[in-house]
Homo-oligomer: A and B are copies of this chain.
Amino acid sequence: MGLNALFKALGDETRREILRRLARGDMAAGEIAAAFDLSWPTISHHLSVLKEAGLVQDEKKGQYVIYSLNTTVFQDIAGWLFDLLGTITERQPAKKGEARKENGK
């Protein structure tokens, strides 16, 4: 369920904002939490969703947990996008006014 978790993770404004901040540089969990008007456990939960989706990584550094963006999964998104757009361009465009009735298989 890679793409599912990925898109679900991205379908939340708070999580996208976390990613935007991590794009500027790595941050500790508490530093991230402080940037939002939400409780720490809530942010902690969002971070775990992002981590499950492969969008971020974490690394324990003493008493801190440093989060960083994992850019490799963006290839999955791009790949999915290209697949879909590729499929579109493959099909022959019907002539204007021509009816399509076949639905292949």
Contacts and interface: CB of A to CB of B under 8 A. Distances in A.
Given A23-B88, A85-B71, A91-B24, A11 B8 contact: yes
Given A4-B12, A8-B11, A13-B4, A20 B84 contact: yes
A103 B31 contact: yes
Nearest to A69: B88
Contacts of A71: 85, 88
Question: How many protomers of this protein does the assembly include?
Answer: 2
Contacts of A25: 91, 100, 103-104
Contacts of A12: 4
The A interface is mostly helix, strand or loop, or mixed, namely helix
Interface in A83-98: 83-85, 87-88, 90-91
A38 to B, nearest CB: 16
Given A4-B11, A103-B27, A81 B78 contact: yes
Interface string A14-29: 0010011001111100
Interface string A68-79: 010100100110
